[in-house]
Amino acid sequence: MCMRVALKFAYDGKTFSGYARQPGQRTIEQVLLNVLIEQGMFQDVKIACFRTASRTDRGVSALGNVCAFDTTVSYDAIIALLKNDASEVFLYGTKEVEPGFYPRHAIRREYRYYLQNNGIDIEKLLCAAGLFTGEHNFQNFARVEPLKNPVRTIDAIVISERKDFLILDFSAQTFLWNQIRRIVSALKKVGTGILSIEEIRQGLDHPEKKVDFQVAASEPLLLKDVVYDFSFNYVKEYKKKLLKFEKSIVSSL
């Protein structure tokens, strides 16, 4: 009997040559597929309709990315795979989903950026961050592909402090390519006095006037979670391992 299964997984993006499969490159997707195929979850990627929620940029890590595929393997065998998994891609959550489930159709995505706090004016940064919440045309704050709608809604940007970092947590249903990294670059420039809050406002209010706010580094960015209208079944003590995983990623920044 065939069923569709969603898996939640984490990885340190700095140790790979990007996410998507590429000939001769060691990528996250290839390592993940190797594990699933070696464990007999499926043999043919196309027949299994393998899909992922997010193809993160090179250097970006994840604590909660999601993939889905069709399989004839029993659900108990999939649970056993998660318990015994020792690959560099940490598999820790599973759920039997509806046929045709497409992981990109999520309710919410959560990203976290660790910004080095080198003399940043936090009050200015907070004021500037508030400009980005709600619905905007992000033409000046993303790498917008042809025919792609640049209008997106950011539900929240929450900023906290931890040792030498400012932690920026972003929440939205969808994000554009490089959107968070370009917003972080702009926020950092405001916080260090390179840009004014009004320049940010103009960049949002007048997307027809092209402005390059540049792109922040990819390594401090993590895909924190992808949320759906169901809950995953998790392996025991997965939160402790994810916390350890995140600390390891941050320690190398």
Q: What is the set of active-site residues?
A: 57
Contacts 24+ apart (CB under 8 A), 155-158: 155/108, 157/129, 157/130, 157/132, 157/133
Radius of gyration for the chain, computed over Cα atoms and rounded to the nearest angstrom: 19
- Which residue from 56, 51, 156 is spatially nearest to 108, judged by alpha carbons? 156
Q: What is the C-alpha separation between 121 and 168, in angstroms, rounded?
A: 14
- Which residue from 146, 225, 217 is spatially nearest to 185, judged by alpha carbons? 217
Instruction: Name the pairing type of β-strands 165-172 and 51-52.
Output: unpaired
H/E element, 166: strand 165-172
